[in-house]
Structure 1
Amino acid sequence: MGASKFGLMALLTELGALQALLLVEHADQALLAYLAIHAPASGLLALAVYTLIPARQSKPRSSVLALLFSCIFFVPLLGFVGVIIGALLRHLLPRLRAPQRFTAVRLPDLDTHESSEKSSAGFRQAGVRQFLKNERAPVPQRLRAMVALSHAPSRIGSPVLRELLGDAEDDLRLLAYGLLDGREKHLNASIHDARQRLAASRDVAVRSTVAHQLAALYWELIYQGLVQGDLLDYAVGEALRHTETALQGLTDDPALHLQHGRLLQQLQRFDEADAAYRRARELGLPASRVVPYLAELAFARRDYVRVKTLLASMQDWEGLSRLQPVLRFWGHA
């Protein structure tokens, strides 16, 4: 029988004992009648409460049952009610106090650098720089990120690799140096080959084409940050010289005029750079390719009114996500 059945029988029996106490007129007989019925009621209630006690706390069985029976029998009415209340509280309170299996917690700050499941194919160009600069990230993961970076366009990867030349980890420094050195050697080999072809050619059209290639190769050295200091000045000078050579035969090449302007701007020859940009625009180069450099040139000249005017013309252009912060700044200036 379950605890509920034992409890119900104990309650009914106890009510019978109370009725006998009230109906019998003689006090001694009434007490004897009450105790005679109250005893089995106490036993039934003791059994009901015992079934609710956890197994680890119900041993020894006879002693626990004797204690429950004594509390109920020798404290009439109050003992009966008290044990029922105690049993109910013992049964219900643990449920009330038990921790919830599922609770709402604040999401932790996500640190993708701590993930150990990334593969080299899983790194995106936008987050590689932050990952490689994170000293908490495991070195093997940073090495894999650097290998992934080697497949990125040079204009993105080379500046990041140059920053890593001062990293605290020897392996990262050596790998960064090796990747940069490999890129520089590849460009220098192409430059050497183009210079030989330029020296061997006497045709103006061919020389212009080869000079254009040479200028582009030198510009790659500059653009990728592979040359610094005196080597940078040398590369700019060579790129400008070959660009001007190429312009002798390719006077109507707008991209070549744009490159000419960027090299002149690098040398702070602003008036000549402005003329080169305007010529590129006249030859049909899209405004989206030229206006940003004109705005940069105006800023270098401290002509801020012209900067704002030029950038205002770019507000409705699409595909300028990287320039949006600049456009917003000057839009509120």
Structure 2
Amino acid sequence: MLLKLSAAGLSFETASVALLLQGGNGLGVLAAYLALHLVSSALFALAIAQVAPPQYRRPRTALLLYLFFFNFFIPVGGMLCAVVALLVAVLWPKDKPEDHFDTSQAPAFVTARRREGSGFSGNRVRAQLGNVATPVDKRLNALVAIQSTPTRASGASLRSLLGDPADDVRLLAYGILDGKEKKITQRIVDMRNHLKTVSDPETLGILHQQVAELYQELIYQNLVQGDLLNYSYAQMREHAQAALQIDAAQPGLWFMLARMELANRNVADAAEAMQRAHEHGFSRVRLLPYLAELSFLERDYEQVRKLFIEMQYDPSVSSQPQLHRYWRHGRRTIANRPEPFNPASAARPTGGRR
């Protein structure tokens, strides 16, 4: 059918063009040309409509009228343009909006957070590690999953496994803790050996500072306890003070020393270290939580409240809005009932950040 319509349309169009080329100029010649061209335009419209892409075939009447008038008012050229447009529509079809999107399943709703702690799903891992009825291979997989997380987040779970009845679990937990401790301890040994070979004051100061920071890392990661913890505090203090004797203009080192003294409840030394840190340019905004803790240890509760008001609850300073609200407003709300302010029972303010 397509070939018949195309051949017939081409014949009528050829006849109409030949009639014009014969040189006649009367109304009869013009009427004959228009009649032949009208038939050829209708035949070409029917032929092109049959091979048009499906998305262009509806509504059919509008398509046929468009093709007819396009061919009729643009003799010869209209037919060529229609064929070219048809090829473009077939070879490079227009994208549909739905072609750019895929359908996916809605996520399942869960009532509890799946991510807790630093870098691992805390509740799930703790449940697997603490449940001796869980198959050993799953508990070992959970241990392997948390071995690269900071010990500050996973240390409690690892230490609870040191007395586990499963030998593999117990040995792997001990190996993880021991490996992390030895890695830092070996760096401390190397630094201390290097200290013995250096006489330049500037280099000595840098090495003392690095040793103090490594001891602080042992403490922060909860890798030492008991007597080892006390020894680490003493060594951290000794090397930090040695570095500060060489160069006292180190606000970060003063701040580290202040935090250590606060942890040991050495109020006077902590206050002096904070003062020196601030004098050497340490940001007061970062000192505010520790100043509040220091005032709390001194039982200066009014100063604690002033410091919390000064903080103005900046999330970069305080991560505990309840604690901030308690000290700022002097009360806490339980079941929409204000409880009278009682500093003696207040939670101890803490920086909460490393």
TM-score range, shorter chain: 0.5 to 0.7
Gaps of 5+ in 2: 1-107, 332-340, 342-354
Summarize deviations over 1:104-163 as a string: whole Å, max 9, x none. Answer: xxx9996899xxxx9xxx943586446644567554444333322222233323344234
**Bigger Rg, structure 1 or 2:** 1
- The change in CA–CA distance for 1:205 and 1:310 in structure 2 (over 3 A counts) is same
Instruction: Compare 126-135 and 157-166 and name the one that shifted more.
Output: 126-135
Going from structure 1 to structure 2, the CA distance change for 1:146 and 1:328 (only over 3 Å counts) comes to farther
Equivalent of 1:178 in 175, 190, 197: 175
Provide the residue aligned with 1:71 in structure 2: none
Q: Distance in 2 between matches of 1:135 and 1:315?
A: 47
Scaled by the length of structure 2, what TM-score is found? 0.54
Deviation at 1:167, TM superposition (A): 4.5
| Deviation larger for 247-256 or 316-325 | 316-325
Q: For the Cα contact (< 8 Å) 1:299–1:307, is it kept in 2?
A: yes
Q: Quote the offset at 1:190 in angstroms.
A: 0.3
Q: Structure 2 matches for 1:240-255, cutoff 5 A?
A: 240-255=237-252
Check whether the contact 2:188–2:211 (CA below 8 A) recurs between aligned residues: yes
Indicate conservation of the 8 Å contact 2:152/2:221, yes or no: yes
Q: Pick closer, same or farther for the CA change 1:136–1:309 going to 2, 3 Å.
A: farther
Tell me which of 242, 251, 256 is aligned to 2:253. Answer: 256
CA distance in 2, matches of 1:142, 1:322: 32
Structure whose residues are more often helix by fraction: 1
Q: Secondary structure at the match of 1:201?
A: coil
Secondary structure of 2:209's counterpart equals helix
Please state how far the C-alpha of 1:292 moved relative to its aligned partner.
1.7
CA distance in 2, matches of 1:182, 1:220: 14
Q: Is the 8 A contact 1:295 1:306 kept in 2?
A: yes
The residue that corresponds to 2:307 in the other structure is 310
- Contact conserved, 1:159 with 1:224, CA < 8 A, in 2? no
Q: 2:320 aligns with which of 312, 319, 323?
A: 323
The one-letter code matched in structure 1 to 2:290 is Y
The residue that corresponds to 1:269 in the other structure is 266
* C-alpha distance 303-248 of structure 1, shift in aligned 2 (>3 A): same
Displacement after TM superposition at 1:327 (Å): 1.7
Say which of 177, 191, 200 aligns to 1:194.
Answer: 191
Contact 1:125 1:152 in 2 (8 A): no
How far residue 288 of structure 1 moved from its aligned partner, in angstroms, is 4.0
Aligned counterpart in structure 2 of residue 231 of structure 1, from 207, 228, 235: 228
Q: Deviations over 1:196-231 (max 9, x none)?
A: 111111111100100000001111122222222221
RMSD: 3.1
Q: Provide the aligned length of Structure 1 versus Structure 2.
A: 220
TM-score by length of 1: 0.57
Q: 1:287 pairs with 269, 284, 290, which one?
A: 284
CA distance in 1, matches of 2:324, 2:127: 25
1:14-39 CA distance string (max 9 Å, x none): xxxxxxxxxxxxxxxxxxxxxxxxxx
1:217–1:330 CA distance, 2 compared to 1 (3 A): same
Match of 1:95?
none
Matched, 1:211 2:208: yes
**Which amino acid in structure 1 is aligned with residue 278 of structure 2?**
R
Shift of 1:237: 0.7
Once the two structures are superposed, the pairs formed by residues 75-86 of structure 1 within 5 Å of their partners are: none
Q: 1:150 to 1:317 in 2, by over 3 A?
A: same
Runs (5+) with no aligned partner, structure 1: 1-106
CA contact (8 A) 1:125 1:149 kept: no
- Alpha-carbon deviation of 1:255? 0.8
Q: In the alignment, residue 206 of structure 2 is paired with which amino acid? A: T
In 1: Cα distance, 2:284 partner to 2:292 partner? 12
Deviations 1:221-261 (A, max 9, x none): 22222222221111111110000001022311111001111
State the partner residue of 1:158.
155
